[in-house]
Every structure is written in structure tokens, then in C-alpha cells.
Amino acid sequence: MKKDIKKYKLLNIKLTPQRIAILDYLERNKTHPSVSEIFKYVNRRFPSMSFATVYNTLNTLVQHGRIRELTMDNDKKRFDPNTLPHHHLTCIKCKRIIDVDLDYPLSLPENKSSGFKVLGNHIEFYGICSECSSLNKQQKKKLSEII
């Protein structure tokens, strides 16, 4: 209880069980989950929880700078509880997203920024994860199971 308050109170938003559950899930999770993944999890503990609450909570947390909204997955929003500057590596097949905790000092000269105030950057490495690399074998298995 105290923990929760200590951890979340600074946001100056009401501390509800649903919000605590959502933020707890995000913090114990390194997968950069989507809204439906978050909903699936917290809904197990709060069967009455609405999908709208997950959206509301996530939007509120983003607005308060408590979490970060990722863009790499064009199909749906993904969320990151770590708002410190860091980069990501995405699997182009399954859209798995992992952290890249390396420092890359990137400077963008003013004469190349067309009048923009440059605030930061984010590197998206992309590739194919090990599961998707070895999919040829698995594909056959799964296909044979399905068909």
C-alpha cells in the first residue's frame, strides 16, 4: 500500500486498483505490450474491468510522462514503462520488441533540421528474432496440426 503510494502518488492522479494493476503489469514486463495484452492480464484480477479503463489509464499515464507510447508496430499501440532514453530492436515478422540499452550519441546539425527544434531521437533496429528464424520447421509442425 505505502509502496503503491510512494511509487505512483507523484503523478497527482487518483490511485485506483485498476491503475495500480495496469502499471504493475507494465513494470514487471519487458515485452512492450499492447492494449489488448494488458487488458487480458489485468482482466484476470479485475473481471469487471472495462477495455475503456485500460485505454483511459494508458492515455493518462502517457500524458503524465509516466510511460511511453511506442510506434514501431503499425497495427496497434505498444507501451513502455521505461521513459528513460533508450532504443529498440523489433522483429519484422512477429513484432516482438526488445530494449537496446546502448548509448548512441547522435547529433543533427541545425542546417539539416529545417527549422525544427530537435528534442531527441529513438533508434529502431529491426531484424528477425530467433523464434521467427527457425519458423520453417515449426511452420510445418503447426500447419500439420492445423490442417
Partner DNA sequence: TTATTAGATTATAATGATTATAAAATAAGA
Partner DNA sequence: TCTTATTTTATAATCATTATAATCTAATAA
Q: Does 99 bind Mn ion (CB under 5 A)?
A: yes
Q: Are strands 78-80 and 87-91 parallel, antiparallel or unpaired?
A: unpaired
**Grid cell of 114 as nine digits:** 529545417
The site map against Mn ion for 53-82 (x = CB under 5 A) is ---------------------------x--
Residues contacting residue 116 through CB under 8 Å, at least 6 positions apart:
none
User: Which residue, chain included where needed, has cell 530494449?
Assistant: 99
- For the bound state, the minimum distance from the C-beta of residue 70 to DNA, rounded and expressed in Å, comes to 10
What number of chain residues touch Zn ion (CB under 5 A)?
Answer: 6
Residues 147 and 36: their CA atoms lie apart, in Å, by 28
- For the bound state, the minimum distance from the C-beta of residue 99 to Zn ion, rounded and expressed in Å, comes to 16
User: Among 104, 78, 105, 106, which residue's Cα sits nearest to residue 91?
Assistant: 78
Report what 63 binds from Mn ion, a copy of itself, Zn ion, none; CB cut-off 5-8 Å by kind. Answer: none
Among 9, 45, 64, 93, contact with Zn ion (rule: CB under 5 A) = 93
**Grid cell of 18 as nine digits:** 485498476
The binding site for DNA (CB under 7 A) comprises 13-19, 34-36, 46, 48-53, 55-57, 59-60, 74-77
